[in-house]
Amino acid sequence: MNFGTTQKKQQELETRMAALGLREEDIQERYVRSSGPGGQKVNKTASCVYLKHLPSGLEVKMQRQRSQGLNRYYARKRLCELLENERLGDKSPAALKAAKIRKQKQRRRRRGRQTPKLNDEEL
């Protein structure tokens, strides 16, 4: 498969898909005409990619770039993220990242509530 990305990125995606047990035979792929910014290019070509993982029923529609190859790459990457979230739950990378951000916000909120005590001399 050639997505128009570097060889390293393609290799990482293929290993991630293999680790999840995601096979190309299980993916139904369609190309849809995009909408939105991109001008004449997106109006004339079907660069939007629609993927459906048949065993799990997960669906992904990606039109991030004007290039069909890059959209195919990003759609597969997003499908991997969704499968990880479904299978790993709280241990998935996205859930761990969200938990880390939640902790940071709680810490900042606690710091904001604490008001410094003023001495009589400072008034």
Running along the chain, 123 residues long, what does each successive block of 10 average in pLDDT?
A: 86 92 92 79 84 93 90 94 87 89 92 72 62
Q: Is residue 54 part of a domain?
A: yes
Looking up tokens 């991630």, which residue turns up?
A: 16
Q: Is residue 108 part of a domain?
A: no
Domain that holds residue 77: 7-88
Check residue 122 and give its pLDDT: 61
Q: Is residue 69 part of a domain?
A: yes
Q: Is residue 24 part of a domain?
A: yes
Check residue 114 and give its pLDDT: 72
Take residue 40 and report the two structure tokens written for it.
């004449």
Q: Is residue 73 part of a domain?
A: yes
Check residue 33 and give its pLDDT: 86
Segment holding 14, helix H or strand E? helix 7-20
- Which CATH number goes with the domain that contains 30? 3.30.160.20
Evaluated on CA atoms 50, 53, 59, 62, the torsion sign reads negative
Check residue 43 and give its pLDDT: 78
Output the pTM of the full model. 0.76
Q: Is residue 81 part of a domain?
A: yes
